[in-house]
Structure 1
Amino acid sequence: MFLAVRFSPAGWLNGLLLGLTCSTALPAFADTDPNLLTRNTLTGDWGGLRHQMDQSGIKFTGDYSGETAYNADGGLHRSTRYSQNIKLGVQFDLSKLYGLDNAGKVQLTINDRRGNSASEDLVGNRLPIQENYGGLYTRLTELSYERTLFTPALNVKLGYMAMGNDLGGLDSGILCNFMNAGFCGHPLNMSGGSGWTNYPNAHLGVRVKYDLSSSWQLRVAAFNVDPESNGNSSRAWHLGPKHTTGTVVPIELVYKHAGALPGEYKVGYYYDSSNVDRIGSDKEVSGRGGHYLLIDQAVWSSQSSEGRSLHAFGQYSSASEAASPFSKWYGTGVVLYKPFEGRPRDTVALGYGRAVPNPRSREMQQNAALANGTMSPNLDSAEQLIELGYGYQATPWLTLRPNVQYIIEPGAFSGQDIDNALVLGLQVKAVL
């Protein structure tokens, strides 16, 4: 039924987004609880209506993220850039609504993005300094149906959705203790070298999860590949593809273990059946693939302070060198939860990442420079990233994350000689 759906939003939709957003500035009118500092959401319980609707099977969600970045040294220019994302969603629990067993859930999500890019305007690097930048318009991000099928171990979701919601990232959320998109989300060379798309780009697809045991899970999906719809505001409300080039199929094996030192491990492979141009050649590549490994492992847990622990994470991803300008990604780091006794929900995060350009792309840049009678700059073999941030949980619904990013060899992908950049940032997240 999803193939036949086409959205043509009018002014009422933008008005709804504006109204819900502006209502956050007047929380006292949205909740009878006067204590803004202790409730879980900014807009509260709406005088009890929100809780009543949730109990009936209609759950409203929303969040805001704002990311400000100042280039203090190096890069292209000294200045500041700001970007933001507002996400509004509603989930319909059909079992509660209609009194049926295992009727499933319908999820509707809308995103609105605005702002400017520190990477494009100030630094000139490949890995986005602000993870919420890109696709600056209002769009439908998800319209999906999900339910268990035949057995509680089998869960199926189909419809219009982003691939990264269920595959390619760590379920623990440890990577989004960082502001740079090189960490937060899935490794970016997946989208650079296949039809795998970055959130909030969504496509028609189906996702299957099967619990092999209490610790092991298999995930398989198939998504339509439609490059002309990615970042295209005219396609913001069109569920059907404009120009299908193929299908991308990811397969992921997940292992999770509990205990004093819990951990999460993912190994995945993906294949895109699309025919694309081979880098440095007039021939085409028939199909592109890649693989990845993701790890989140607790390495220390305090015996005297509950909730205080140190987690280490690792990322490795390799994409097809025939057609991907971004062939490999390596990432590693640590996150300390509850760094101080009086701050149980604060975090300290330190990460290092290395993004490797495709040697074919580098060779093309060097040949182009020689053809123009200029010398190609002597660049390192990769763009590197170091980020240090502190997550301050100001209230249950508000997180402030000041951070420092150091970008090494910002021009590695563009072939430009750009000085290393020091970027000061602030990420603000609010649960609406």
Structure 2
Amino acid sequence: MSSSPRYLPVALLGACLLPSFAFADSTLTGDWGGLRSQMDADGIRFTGDYSGESVYNTHGGLKRSARYSQNLKLGVRFDLDKLLQADNAGVVQLTINDRRGNDGSGDLVGNRLPLQENYGGLYTRLTELSYERTLFTPDLDVKLGYMAMGNDLGGLDSGILCNFMNAGFCGHPLNMSGGSGWTNYPNARLGVRVKYSFDPAWQLRVAAFAVDPESNGNSSRAWNITPKHKTGTVVPVELVYKKLDGLPGEYKVGWYYDSSDAKRIGSNEEVAGRGGHYVLLDQAVWQASDLKGQTLHVFGQAAAASSAASPFSKWYSTGVVLKQPFASRPNDTLALGFGRAVPNPRSREVQEQNALANGEDFPNLGNAERLIELSYGYQATPWLTLRPDVQYIMEPGAFSGADIDNALVVGLQVKAAL
């Protein structure tokens, strides 16, 4: 069967509806009577993902109660090599995202590190419209268009950190987006990303993206690709090493600079430019001799942002993830992590000065918010993952300057491939 425009309306309908008749092994919505696999062979691939995250604060924080948030992502990938029957014609990616729900951190705990990684930007939006192909040599890959820079930079490619539900782990060090024009999914901007592979183990990634703060979290800008008010350009540079022999590993060293002007914290003066740097690692340190899939991974993150203009100056995390914790559960995971988020001392000084000016006492707070998280990923079906989760938040008011008791939060994450 040759490719044809008649596929598009039929496939869009299939992507949005959840048929009850039969489910394929890998997706909830199945193969659409064979249409989905035929379209994929012809160069049109539809994808969809749902995540729902429920949290309940059992102790400390602001109050005992529960909150739920969800994320729905629908995408279509056009393989132009197949569709145009041409060599190296490239790939076009279109992605739409919708988020709904309530904020567990803001409503229940009062902390900075979001308990639910899928909370924020509660509206339907365009999250990617990009074109990608190799250029001059197979080792040079170029991608340009409207996209989140965090899709390709700033996080671990292995995805190991999304065995957790807290946004402090799953995704990217939060001080990147908290103190510069860096954008993580689902916030997207116009930009270009280049990857050059020196060999299978080493790769250099460089990008440039428009900085448009007025569009962040703005539902009226949900479908606008061009910036509303461009303040500058953010340029990240990242060196990647992947250990391919023996126990696998991934290591990243990155630096970024945002040319936008920003107010110096605690002053009316402006700072010309903001930047930061980071180190990320994921290394398998043990593998069972009699069970190939049972491996223990150690991960780590360290990131620092501009001390003049970023309210979130440093982030550190480390932890372990055990894959296949039981012989009978080959796709399950057990994860334990610790994170430490350091507020900018300038922000603390401003909070203290404001309290004293109003005749109020300023609480004796620790110098960082800390997080311990334990989760178990249960692969219920090939397309459904259930993740019971426990988070303990220490010094929840470290960023707000409030005296809040440590909080113990239990939760459940549900992920489904549509």
Q: Give the TM-score normalised by structure 1.
A: 0.93
Spell out, residue by residue over 1:148-196, the C-alpha distance to the aligned partner (whole angstroms, 9 max, x if none): 0000000000000001100000000000000000000010000111100
Q: Which residue of structure 1 lines up, in the alignment, with residue 115 of structure 2?
A: 129
1:425 corresponds to: 411
| Partners of 2:124 and 2:14 in 1: CA distance | 14
- 1:3 alignment counterpart: none
Report deviation, 1:27: 3.3
Q: 1:260 offset after TM fit, Å?
A: 2.8
Q: Select 2:20's aligned residue among 27, 41, 51.
A: 27
**1:172-228 Cα shifts (integer Å, max 9, x gaps):** 000000000000001000011110023100000000000011210000000000000
The answer on whether the counterparts of 1:27 and 1:44 sit within 8 Å (CA) in structure 2 is no
2:399 to 389, 407, 413: 413
Alignment counterpart, residue 317 of structure 1, candidates 292, 296, 303: 303
Go from structure 1 to structure 2 and tell me whether the alpha carbon gap of 1:68 and 1:17 turns closer, same or farther (over 3 Å shift): farther
Matches within 5 A, 1:322-401: 322-401=308-387
Query: Which residue of the partner structure matches residue 259 of structure 1?
Result: 245
Q: Which runs of 5+ in 2 are unaligned?
A: 1-8
C-alpha displacement of 1:93: 0.4
Match of 2:63 in 1: 77
For residues 27 and 358 of structure 1, the distance between their equivalents in structure 2, rounded to whole angstroms, comes to 52
Deviation at 1:92, TM superposition (A): 0.3
Q: List per-residue Cα deviations over 1:323-373 (Å, max 9, x = no partner).
A: 000000000000000000000000000000000000000000111111011
What is the correspondence of 1:15-414 to structure 2 with a 5 Å cutoff? Answer: 20-21=15-16, 23-24=17-18, 26-28=19-21, 34=22, 36=23, 39-414=25-400
1:20: how far off? Answer: 4.0
Distance 2:34 2:361 in 1: 68
- Matched residue SS, 1:27: coil
Alpha-carbon contact 1:354-1:382 (below 8 Å) kept: yes
Shift, 1:259, TM fit: 2.5
Any runs of at least 4 consecutive aligned residues in structure 1 with deviations exceeding 2 A, and if so which? 16-21
Aligned to 1:4: none
Aligned partner of 1:9 in structure 2 is: none
> Which residue pairs with 1:31 in the alignment?
none
Task: Indicate the RMSD between aligned Cα atoms, in angstroms.
Answer: 1.3
Q: Give, as a single letter, the amino acid of the residue that structure 2 aligns with 1:27.
A: S
Question: Secondary structure at 2:183's aligned position in 1?
Answer: coil
Maintained 8 Å contact 1:267/1:293: yes
Is the CA contact (8 Å cut-off) linking 1:70 and 1:79 kept in structure 2? Answer: yes
* In structure 2, distance between residues paired with 1:224 and 1:343: 45
The answer on whether the counterparts of 2:365 and 2:395 sit within 8 Å (CA) in structure 1 is: yes
**What is the identity, as a one-letter code, of the residue corresponding to 1:229?**
S
Q: What is the distance in 2 between the residues matched to 1:79 and 1:90?
A: 38
Distance in structure 2 (CA, Å) of the matches to 1:267 and 1:255: 9
What is the CA–CA distance in structure 1 between the aligned matches of 2:108 and 2:200, rounded to whole Å?
47
User: Residues 260 and 301 of structure 1 are in contact (CA less than 8 Å); yes or no, is this contact kept in structure 2?
Assistant: no
CA contact (8 A) 2:15 2:48 kept: no
What stretches of structure 1 of length at least 5 have no aligned partner? 1-12, 29-33
TM-score by length of 2: 0.96
Give the C-alpha shift of residue 19 in structure 1.
7.6
Which residue pairs with 1:6 in the alignment?
none
Query: What is the DSSP-based 3-state SS (H/G/I as helix, E as strand, rest coil) of the residue aligned with 1:61?
Result: strand
Separation in 2, partners of 1:148, 1:388: 41
- Asked whether the equivalents of residues 91 and 108 of structure 1 are also in contact (C-alpha less than 8 Å), the reply is yes
Corresponding letter in the other structure for 1:295: L
Residue in structure 1 matched with residue 4 of structure 2 by the alignment: none
- Give the Cα separation in 2 of the matches to 1:17 and 1:238: 22
Instruction: Give secondary structure in 2 for the equivalent of 1:413.
Output: coil
Alpha-carbon distance between aligned partners in 1 of 2:15 and 2:237, rounded to the nearest angstrom? 38
| Distance in 2 separating the partners of 1:67 and 1:214 | 37
Q: CA deviation at 1:17?
A: 8.4
CA 18–325 in structure 1, closer or farther in 2 if over 3 Å, else same: farther
What do the CA deviations read for 1:223-269 (whole angstroms, capped 9, x no partner)?
00000000000000000000000000000000001123100000000
Deviations 1:119-155 (A, max 9, x none): 0100000000000000000000000000000000000
Query: Aligned AA for 1:405?
Result: Q
Distance in 1 of aligned mates of 2:387 and 2:20: 23
**How far apart in 2 are the matches of 1:371 and 1:19?**
60
Deviation at 1:18, TM superposition (A): 9.2
Equivalenced residue count is 409
